[in-house]
Amino acid sequence: MNTDPYIEGKTTIAPEVLLTIARLATLKTPGVSKLSPVPPNSVPLLGKRGHVGDGVAIEITDDVFYADLYVILRSDVNVREISHNLQHEVARAISEMVGMQVGRVNIHIEDIDFTETEA
C-alpha cells in the first residue's frame, strides 16, 4: 500500500477554465466597465492553440499562458494605470489558481464608457 499522501496522476485544465479566470480577473479590476467582443481579424493570429471567449483571447504554448484582453474602460480612469493593473491581476490569478507561467497579457482598449458620468 502506498503511504505517500501524493498520488501520481495528471491534471488537465480546459481552456474554458483559463478563459473564465482571465475574464473574471479582468471584470473585478477597478476601472473596467465591461469586456468588448474579440475582433474577428485577431482570431487567426492566435494559431492552432488559441481560444476565444467574451473579450478574452488566450493561447497556451509549451505550458505558458498568453492572453489578449479586449476591454471598455470607465471614463474617469488613468488608462496606463488600469492597463498595468489588468496585466498584474490576470497574471496573478492564472499563476495562483492554476500554477501556469504567464508569458504576456496584452490589453486592448476598445472603447471608453461615458454613460456613468452622464447619469
| DSSP structure class, residue 1 | -
Domain for residue 11, yes or no?
Answer: no
Domain for residue 75, yes or no?
Answer: yes
Domain for residue 51, yes or no?
Answer: yes
This model's pTM is above 0.75? yes
Q: Could you read off the pLDDT of 76-109 as tens digits, one per residue?
A: 999 999 999 999 999 999 999 999 999 999 999 9
Domain count across the chain = 1
**Which residues are paired to 52 by β-bridges?**
57
Domain for residue 37, yes or no?
Answer: yes
CA 92, distance to chain mean position in Å, is 10
The residue segments making up the domain with residue 76 are 31-118
The residue assigned the cell 496606463 is: 80
How high is the pLDDT of residue 51?
84
Q: Could you read off the pLDDT of 6-36 as tens digits, one per residue?
A: 788 888 899 999 999 999 999 999 999 999 9
Do residues 76 and 38 make contact, with C-beta atoms less than 8 angstroms apart?
no
**24-33, 47-56, 59-68, 108-117 — which is least confidently predicted?**
47-56
Domain for residue 24, yes or no?
Answer: no
| 37: CATH | 3.30.300
Residue 58 cell numbers, joined: 488566450
